[in-house]
Amino acid sequence: MAMYDLAIIGSGPAGMTAAIYAARANLNVLLLDKLAPGGQIVNTFEIQNYTGMGTINGAELAIKMFEHTQELGVTFDYGTITSIESEGIIKKLICEEGQTFEAKAVIIATGTKPRMLGVPGELNFAGSSISWCAICDGPHYLNKKVIVIGGGNSAVEEAIYLASLAEEVTVVTLFNLTADPGACDKLRVLPNVKIYEYYNILEFLGADKFAGLKAKSTKTGQEITVNADGAFEYIGLQPTADAFKVLCIVNDYGYIETDAFMATKVPGIYGAGDITSKHLRQVITACSDGAIAALSAAKYIEKLN
């Protein structure tokens, strides 16, 4: 079994930045993920606020970050961590797939996953006609009708992208549009976009084939039926820290608690990125977390030697 100085769980911007900083600190680094590197940004059509990049496709930025880790010799492997066992100064990472990895320090950067509505019909079409990735599945709806659920930045930005493909895009949100004003203005003037604000989703329609949804106004009580070929949900995110609850480092909301050095209360275990309790979840703040966590881990490992 290989022993690493540092194991990083999650290869989004936080995890990859941590890997880069740790490798530059001459640590033997393992970067682990259950999926391809990139995290949430892989599913983002355009990122416009990452310093120095202007407007860049999320998957393209993810590739650039991953290539940077490989230039520095970071080991990447696939694995779904189910638990971390602390044996003295050694942390043992147990994988669902059967592998076990050992490291002197661990950075948890597992991020978040899309939240679901939990209404009738959703599970029938989840992963087929209901998607959480416009850049992945948007091309299936060329000249068709789609629904976008949500009113935040992700919902509005992906609705704009889908409007360039679909015949018609209907945005349904429980509140009003809360995205950046510039993006909202851009969406509102698109000729093939309809927007229903303050509507609660009641159910998805269709037996064998997706047919649309029913929603009810929270202001007037009016019910509407929106017919469509598919839907995209952007109603928030859930932390993915269940595997680490036994370490008592997860708060009541499911996020990992860290100090200013990204350290948890378990020596040698750090958090970084969207999985941590924080005020702003953006690519740039995830990268900042990763850099801090890596340097904190390097100092911790130095004291062990």
Could you report the per-residue pLDDT of 102-118, keeping only the tens digit for each?
Answer: 999 999 999 998 899 99
Could you report the per-residue pLDDT of 66-75, keeping only the tens digit for each?
Answer: 999 999 999 9
Q: Tell me the residue range of the domain where 44 lies.
A: 3-113+237-304
* 40 and 64 fall within a common domain: yes
How many domains is the chain built from?
2
- Which of 211, 233, 255 is the last residue in one of the domains? 233
Could you report the per-residue pLDDT of 5-35, keeping only the tens digit for each?
Answer: 999 999 999 999 999 999 999 999 999 999 9
Where residue 200 sits, what CATH number does that domain have?
A: 3.50.50.60
The pLDDT-based confidence of 269 (bands split at 50, 70, 90) is very high
* 169 and 223 fall within a common domain: yes
- Which of 233, 252, 270 is the last residue in one of the domains? 233
What are 173's strand-pairing partners? 197
Quote the pLDDT of residue 43. Answer: 78
* 142 and 281 fall within a common domain: no
Give the integer Cα–Cα distance in Å for 272 and 270.
7
* 183 and 222 fall within a common domain: yes
Could you report the per-residue pLDDT of 223-263, keeping only the tens digit for each?
Answer: 999 999 999 999 988 999 999 999 999 999 999 999 999 99
Could you report the per-residue pLDDT of 168-217, keeping only the tens digit for each?
Answer: 999 999 999 999 999 999 999 999 999 999 999 999 999 999 999 999 99
* 226 and 272 fall within a common domain: no
Q: What angle do CA 144, 145, 151 make, to 5 degrees?
A: 135
* 195 and 175 fall within a common domain: yes
Q: Note the pTM of the prediction, 2 decimals.
A: 0.82
- Which of 233, 257, 276 is the last residue in one of the domains? 233
Question: What are the E-state strand segments in the chain?
Answer: 3-9, 29-33, 75-78, 81-87, 90-95, 100-108, 112-114, 130-131, 145-149, 168-173, 193-197, 199-205, 212-217, 223-227, 230-233, 237-239, 269-271
DSSP state, residue 256: B
DSSP characters for 61-75? HHHHHHHHHHHTT-E
Reading the block at residue 64, the tokens are 């650039």
* 135 and 98 fall within a common domain: no
Quote the pLDDT of residue 224. Answer: 97
